[in-house]
Amino acid sequence: MSTDAELFQVPAGTPVPLDEVPTDPEGAALARWVAELIFQRSITTARSLQRSVGPSGLGTDCDKKLVYGALGVPKLNFGADPWAALVGTAIHGWMAEQMRAVDGGAGRFLVEHRVSYRGVSGTADLYDRRERLAVDWKTTKKAKIRALRRSGAAPRNYVTQLQTYGAGLAAAGESPERVALVWLPVDGTLSDVHAWVTPYDRAVADAAIDRLESLRGLTPAAVAASPSRLCEWCDWYQPGGGDGCPGAGEK
C-alpha cells in the first residue's frame, strides 16, 4: 500500500528556480492533484458536454466557431483554465437559490428557466413577470466592471445571448419588455454591481439565428476564423494543428 508521501510524490524533472522551490513539496503535489480533480470535473459537466449552439454561443464573431458548434464537434481544447468559469457557475447557482427563495412559490419569478427559439435552446437566469424583465448574470473582476460602467455599453455577444432568451420567453407566452445584463464582482463588493438595461428586441435574436442557419452544411475548413485574444478559451482551439482551429496561426 502506498504511503501518502509516495502517492503525492513530486515527479523528477527540470530543477525549479530557488525562489520557486516549495517549502512543502508534499503539500505542493497535493495542491496539483486537487487542481487536476477540479479540472477533470469541469470538463464533464452538462454545460461542458453540450454539443449544440445555444444562446451564449450565437453572438461569437467567429464563423468557424459557429460551424464547429452547429456540427456538434466534440471539445478539442483541454488547455484552458476553467477556474473563472467555475466561480461564475457557483455564483449563478447561489443567485438562483436566493431568487427562488424570494419568489416563495408565487410564480412571479422564473428562475433558471429553459427557453427555446427557432431551434436554439438555453436557460434564462431570471425573468420577472411583474416587471417584464429578463436578467442574465455575469461575473467578472471589478476593474472590468468599472470599464463597462464608463463605456455605458455591453459586449455584442452578451446582448445577442440576452435577446435570444427574451425571444424564447416570448415564444413561450411571456411578454418581455426589457432585458438586462447584471455584472457581479468576483473580487469586489456589492457597491461594484453594475446593470445594463435595454428594450427587448426580437430582431437581434433573428439576425443571429439567420446567420447560424446560413452556415449550416459547411465544414470548418470551408470557413475562415476570426482570431482574437479569446481563441485559447475556444473549445476547438488547437494551435498545434489537427482537427481543430489554430486561431491566430491559421494560414
Domain ranges of the chain: 1-42, 83-212
The predicted structure's pLDDT at residue 4: 42
Q: What is the mean pLDDT of residues 88-99?
A: 97
Q: What is the mean pLDDT of residues 107-119?
A: 98
* CA dist., res. 230 & res. 72, Å (int): 20
* CA dist., res. 73 & res. 180, Å (int): 31
* CA dist., res. 247 & res. 230, Å (int): 9
Q: Which burial class, exposed, middle or buried, applies to 210 when counting CB atoms under 10 A from its CB (0-12, 13-18, 19+)?
A: exposed
SS3 135: strand
Binning pLDDT at 50, 70 and 90, where does residue 7 land? very low
In this structure, which CATH number among 3.90.320.10, 3.20.20.140, 3.40.50.300, 3.90.1640.10 belongs to the domain 83-212? 3.90.320.10
Q: What is the mean pLDDT of residues 86-99?
A: 97
Q: What is the mean pLDDT of residues 117-124?
A: 96
- Mean pLDDT (the chain) is 89
* CA dist., res. 206 & res. 214, Å (int): 12
Binning pLDDT at 50, 70 and 90, where does residue 112 land? very high
Residue 47 has pLDDT above 80, yes or no: no
List the single range of 9-18, 58-67, 70-79, 238-247 with lowest mean pLDDT. 9-18
Q: Which burial class, exposed, middle or buried, applies to 217 when counting CB atoms under 10 A from its CB (0-12, 13-18, 19+)?
A: exposed
Torsion angle, alpha carbons of 222, 226, 228, 231, to 10: -30
The fraction of the chain above a pLDDT of 70, given in percent, is 89
Q: What is the mean pLDDT of residues 67-93?
A: 92
- Report how far Cα 160 is from the mean position of its chain's Cα atoms: 14
Q: What is the mean pLDDT of residues 94-114?
A: 98
Q: What is the mean pLDDT of residues 166-192?
A: 97
* CA dist., res. 211 & res. 64, Å (int): 12
Q: Containing H/E element for 163?
A: helix 156-171
- Report how far Cα 174 is from the mean position of its chain's Cα atoms: 25
The predicted structure's pLDDT at residue 5: 42
Binning pLDDT at 50, 70 and 90, where does residue 248 land? low
Residue 175 has pLDDT above 50, yes or no: yes
> Per this entry, what is the length of the chain?
251
On whether the CB atoms of residues 196 and 149 are closer than 8 A, the answer is no
Q: What is the mean pLDDT of residues 23-52?
A: 87
Which triple of cell numbers denotes residue 149?
460602467
Residue 104 has pLDDT above 80, yes or no: yes
Q: Residue 158: left if φ>0, alpha if ψ -120 to 50, beta else—which one?
A: alpha
In this predicted model, which residue has the larger pLDDT, 244 or 202? 202
Q: What is the mean pLDDT of residues 140-152?
A: 96
Residue 28 has pLDDT above 90, yes or no: no
* CA dist., res. 244 & res. 220, Å (int): 9
Bridge-based pairing of strands 133-140 and 178-185 is: parallel
Binning pLDDT at 50, 70 and 90, where does residue 46 land? confident
Binning pLDDT at 50, 70 and 90, where does residue 154 land? very high
* CA dist., res. 191 & res. 21, Å (int): 39
Residue 107 has pLDDT above 80, yes or no: yes
Residue 217 has pLDDT above 60, yes or no: yes
Q: What is the mean pLDDT of residues 199-211?
A: 98
pTM of the model as a whole: 0.86
Q: Which residues contact 122 (CB under 8 A, 6 or more apart)?
A: 54, 55, 56, 114, 115, 116, 161, 164, 165, 168
